[in-house]
Amino acid sequence: MSIVTRFAPSPTGRLHVGNIRTALHNWMLARQAGGHFLLRIDDTDTERSREEYVDAIRADLAWLGLDPDGEERQSQRLAHYETAFARLREAGRVYPCYETQQELELRRKVLLGRGLPPIYDRAALQLSDAERAAKEAAGEQPHWRFKLDHGEAIEWLDGIRGPQHFDPAQLSDPVVRRHDGSWLYMLPSAVDDIAMGVTDVLRGEDHVSNTALQIQMFTALDAAPPRFAHEALLTGSEGKLSKRLGSLGCDAFRDKGIEPEAIVALLARIGTSLPVEPILQREVLVESFDLGTFGRAPARFDDAELERLNAAVVHQFDFDHVAARLPAGMSREGWEAIRPNLSHVGEAADWWEVVTGPVEVPDMPAEDRAYLADAAAMLQWSDDPWHGLTGALKEATGRKGKSLFLPLRLALTGRASGPDMAALLPLIGEAEARARLEAAAG
């Protein structure tokens, strides 16, 4: 059986780093097995869902290189949920409830005050047909709960957490439909997983109890549950759950000049026993993907680590990969000369000004100005003008080290550090280099 995974975001906002990690891992799991990765837009919340967010989700996945093999939208599948709901109602596995939110909250507080778990008491099942009819005649519309089977424990072998065991009697019957007829997450998700042939559900550990409930829904709909795996959630660099992570998405990464390759390299492996490395080749990351390497501790997302990865990724980029984003006139040689000094591709324009000029040279001591005048006179162009010039100056002046190189760099670039001058000087050109030396010499 071919593996089918899915990523199922709700279009009520932009993707954040936790969503991206979930999408990536599902994509990797499918690609490793030669299976299918599906995008499902969970847009049953009509009040909060926005088409602009649907477009943004697609665009972000494309930017990250996470290409889905198919797409479904829950808003176009409502008839399927009605059919499943009717089956469950006929089988007695869903039932109407009339309590208000305030009544449920009061019951919850009473149970907690007694030291008891806040489990729904199934009071609605005690209502007679006449009582239900009276409530509806009075305009009370029910919400609907899925009736859990208390007969056997709910068990599964989690791909990350190992054997899982839940006593259904210790769980509340979940609400699957609101009083206005709209759907909550649980039932439509199970119905869609069945219809889409999803074989593996990989998601955050905050869904573990949902999985216990949904396993019974699969069984009630005469379907085998998929395999489940629940990964530890992301934490911020401060070591606890960070609200900031909920707003850190592709737009924020792009604004900071972070490359998608760096994001993928980081999120592919944080929280696992595998080293986080600046790996550009997706096939390498996919081949090494293994749920057995995932730990149970929260995965720590560190901005500084992402920045380090980004610089390492940029240093591997070939000219053709970035040519469209480079300043006008920058050649392959220019990119290769400047690349080692970049943390972000966008910094190339600033460094390219060192080549194109003009450069602002700081005031130089008199002895350095005389030295630069000698340099201008001794400059001879060749295949390696930098080493030719510095070799001749060393022999003629006796200078070495910083006193030999720094005045030349300052005069030629206006900066005390930067790209390798042996690569940079040929880009500046003979006439411009001599003119800069002469100008700095005064």
CB 440 within 8 A of CB 410: yes
Is 394 annotated in a binding site? The answer is: no
- What is the distance between the alpha carbons of residues 244 and 235, in angstroms, rounded to a whole number? 10
Which of 274, 233, 227 has the alpha carbon at shortest distance from 19?
A: 233
CB 111 within 8 A of CB 105: no
- What is the distance between the alpha carbons of residues 418 and 145, in angstroms, rounded to a whole number? 66
Cβ neighbour number for residue 374 with a 10 Å cutoff = 15
CB 440 within 8 A of CB 367: no
- What is the distance between the alpha carbons of residues 185 and 183, in angstroms, rounded to a whole number? 7
φ, ψ at 125 (rounded to 5°):
-70, -15
- What is the distance between the alpha carbons of residues 58 and 61, in angstroms, rounded to a whole number? 5
Dmax of the chain from CA atoms?
110
Cβ neighbour number for residue 47 with a 10 Å cutoff = 6
Q: Which residues are annotated as a binding site for ATP?
A: 243
Q: Which residues are annotated as a binding site?
A: 243
